[in-house]
Structure 1
Amino acid sequence: MIGLTEIRRIIPHRHPVLLVDRVSEVDPGRSITTLKAVSGREPCYAGGADDAYPIGLLLESWAQSAVLLTRWANPNPDVLADKVELISGIRDVVLHAEVFPGDVVEHHVELVREVEDAAILAGHSLVAGRKVLEIGSFTMARRGVDVLRPEGVA
C-alpha cells in the first residue's frame, strides 16, 4: 500500500484538490484500487457535514485514480513540466448510493485501452462492499500545458 507522499510523486494534485489517500493495489498498465476517506473536515463541508459527498468530487476522486494508473510508469508531479490529463468524455455513469462523511470509498479502475496521448478506462467505487458508483467509459487525453494557455500569455 502506498500513501500520500508516493501519490504526490506520481500526479501533480495537492491539498485541497488531492482526493486520493492511498493506493491499495496496482497492476501497472492494467488496473488500480485506491482509497478515499471522506471527512467532515473537507472544504465542501464548511457549512456542516450532514450532506452527501458531492458527486462531482466523487467523480474527481475516481478520475485521479485513473490518472494514477496511466501515470504509474511515467510520473508527472509537476504539471507545468510535462503534459496534463484532460477528461475528454465520460459515459454510462450510475450513482448507486450516496457517500457521507465517515465513509471510505474504494475506487476500482481498469485500463481498457491506451494509445500515445489518450486512454480509455472504466470501473466502479465501493463503500463497505456496496457499489456506490459505476463508470462505463472514461476517456482522457494528454496535452502539453502550452495548448491550455490563452494566446499571448506566457
Structure 2
Amino acid sequence: MSQTLSVAQVKELIPNRFPILYIDKVTALKAGKEIIAQKQITYNEDFCQSQPENPHMPGTLVLETLAQAGSILILKSPEFLGATAYIGGINNAHFYEFVRPGDSLELRFSITKLKGNVGTADAVATVEGKVVADCVFTFIVGTK
C-alpha cells in the first residue's frame, strides 16, 4: 500500500462536507483491497459539544467514519471509477472504548468479498493500536 490522499482529494471523491466529513487523510490505499485513514478528534467537534461532561465520539459516528473510508476505497478502485457506493448493511458491530478529544482514530476497511456490484468488508477502528470498534459492512456500488 502506498497511495495517500489529502482531505482536499477526499472531498473530490465523496460528497460529505462539514460538519459530516470525518476523514482527515488517507495514509494508505490499495485499490480494490484495503484503505487506512485517519480522523483527529478535537473538543471542538459538534458531537463533543452536545455532551460536555463526557465528551466522546458516538459509536454510530465511528461507524460512519469507517463507511466514509470504505467509500473512498471503493471509488478509487479502477472498476468503479465514477460510480457511487452505498452501505447495504452493518453486521456484528462492537464498541469497546470511547473515542475522546485528543485521540487519533485510525480506520481500516478491507474488502473481503466482491461479487458483481455487491461486497463485504471488515472494518476496524483503533486508537493507539487498541481496537475501539469493529464491524462487517455489506456495500453496494451503484451504476456509473
Same fold by TM-score greater than 0.5: yes
Alignment of 1:95-106 (within 5 A): 95-106=95-106
What is the distance in 1 between the residues matched to 2:127 and 2:11?
24
Q: What's the counterpart of residue 19 of structure 2? A: 16
From the superposition, tell whether residues 26 and 57 of structure 1 become closer, same or farther in structure 2 (CA, over 3 Å). Answer: same
What is the distance in 1 between the residues matched to 2:33 and 2:142?
22
Larger CA Rg, structure 1 vs 2: 1
Please tell me whether residue 61 in structure 1 is matched to residue 65 in structure 2: yes
* Runs ≥4 residues deviating over 4 A: none
Q: What's the counterpart of residue 141 of structure 1? A: 140
Amino acid at match of 1:70: I
What is the distance in 2 between the residues matched to 1:60 and 1:28?
20
What is the distance in 2 between the residues matched to 1:86 and 1:116?
14
Q: CA RMSD in A?
A: 1.8
TM-score (norm 1): 0.80
Percent identical across equivalent pairs?
A: 23
From the superposition, tell whether residues 22 and 49 of structure 1 become closer, same or farther in structure 2 (CA, over 3 Å). Answer: farther
Query: Which ranges in structure 1 are unaligned for 5 or more consecutive residues?
Result: 77-81, 145-154
1:88 shift after superposition? 1.5
1:143 shift after superposition? 4.0
Contact 1:32 1:69 in 2 (8 A): yes
Contact 2:47 2:55 in 1 (8 A): no
